Structure 1
Amino acid sequence: MPTGVALRDAREQLFEAAERILLRTGPHGLTSRAVTTEAGCAKGVLHRHFADFDDFLAALVQDRIARLDAQAAALRAAAGTATVTGNLAAALTELFGPVAVAVVGLVTFRDDLRARLRQSTPHGLPLLSEATAMLAGYLAAERDQGRIAEGADPGTLAPTLVGAGHLLYADRTGPPPTTETVHAMVASVLTGATTE
């Protein structure tokens, strides 16, 4: 007798189930049984697609990292438009959505997962390191357009923005920061760096 339901795209449905669990209970509630139960499938489905649960979690994080590519392209395309502060505030707000904040918590929570992710993210915290590179690329593009001061260092500004942004969004239980709060933080970090 079959169990569970047929999965159209098993990997994506398992990822979505894991994200729902992360949002509801945090990293401590994320187990292979919880994921397959949430997805409505047999436990064996997860192990058919992934070598083990840590392999599944690494793929989940890498999927989130891959989603940054589209955001990075859109942010680079925004160079020279609107304001640098506004573009960065919008990028940080998108970056630190509830699922991404939960994924950062998961990476922090699980040492074995971080070790696996070292293959693709050799330095820093996976997801946040790639986000830092995204912001640094944008800041460099704005510097090339003259909207960031020639002496400003995107390699310093970007991690400062990501770190401050993460602190604003890190409390999963409270309300997210307001648009004004994020904008004010970005403006403060960029003090003296923009030519706007």
Structure 2
Amino acid sequence: MPTGVHIRDPRQQLFDAAERVLLRAGPSALTSRAVTDEAGCAKGVLHRHFADFDDFLAELVRGRVARVEQQAALLRDFAGIGTVVGNLTGALEELFDAFALALVGLVIFRDELRARLRGAAPGPGLPVFTEAGAMIAAYLTEERAMGRIAADADVDTLALSLVGAGHLLFAGRAAGAPETDEVERVVATVVADVVQRRLL
């Protein structure tokens, strides 16, 4: 891009470019040069807005974390509506899109990025998935309070189980995302005990 040409919202343009590169070629291909080439701008644009490339990547991950936190608020609003299995199935389908899975791969791939993210939010787990677990636990807490799952349900363990099972179900599929009924079957199995016991 010629010098002096104004770029509208250069940060978002760079984030969008990074998403395309990551989805197309994976974490090993995600370099500052690949991002700026994809965005059609000079490499200096990235360094004007971010301290370094790992700072840029950390903001990319934080953007997805913010989206999960927004999803968490929406999911809590569904407590008491529809079915527990249906609500959790929809949440997992929205959570485990190709970009979220690719971001987790990126965090695992880049030690410096992982260290930065951990320093900002210490604790176990991986960004995006940690927030996903908190989202599901908060939703299940609401359902427990409403009596739609057993009063002694261990919502934190159920959330971990659902995130882990969801990751295994969605990751590494050449044919694309699983069908809704496949996701629903896994969810129903994980929560079957606490849903059935509240009926006793």
The verdict on a shared fold, with TM-score over 0.5 as the criterion, is yes
- Supply the distance in 2 between the matched residues of 1:5 and 1:155 (Cα, whole angstroms): 51
Say what the alpha-carbon RMSD is for the aligned residues: 1.5
Give the whole-Å Cα distance in 2 for the aligned partners of 1:48 and 1:172.
38
Name the amino acid aligned to 1:132: G
Number of corresponding residues: 196
In structure 1, the residue matched to 2:132 is 131
Pairs within 5 Å for 1:1-196? 2-3=2-3, 6-122=6-122, 123-171=124-172, 173-194=174-195, 195=198
Question: After superposition, what is the alpha-carbon deviation per residue over 1:108-144, rounded to whole angstroms, capped at 9, x for unaligned?
Answer: 1111111000123322111100110000000000000
Q: Which amino acid aligns with 2:77?
A: A
Q: Percent identity?
A: 63
| Matching residue's letter, 2:88 | L
* 3-state SS, counterpart of residue 80 of structure 1: coil
TM-aligned CA distance change 1:174 to 1:4, over 3 Å = farther
Paired amino acid for 2:191: L
Q: Runs of 4+ in structure 1 displaced over 4 angstroms?
A: none
Q: Which sections of structure 2, spanning at least 5 residues, go unmatched? A: none
Residues 16-59 of structure 1, C-alpha deviations (whole Å, 9 max, x = no match): 10000111011011000000000010000000000000110001
**C-alpha distance in 2, partners of 1:120/1:187?**
35
Q: 1:45 to 1:161 in 2, by over 3 A?
A: same
- The residue matched to 2:150 in structure 1 has which SS? coil
> TM-score normalised to the size of structure 1?
0.96
Of 35-44 and 119-128, deviating more is 119-128
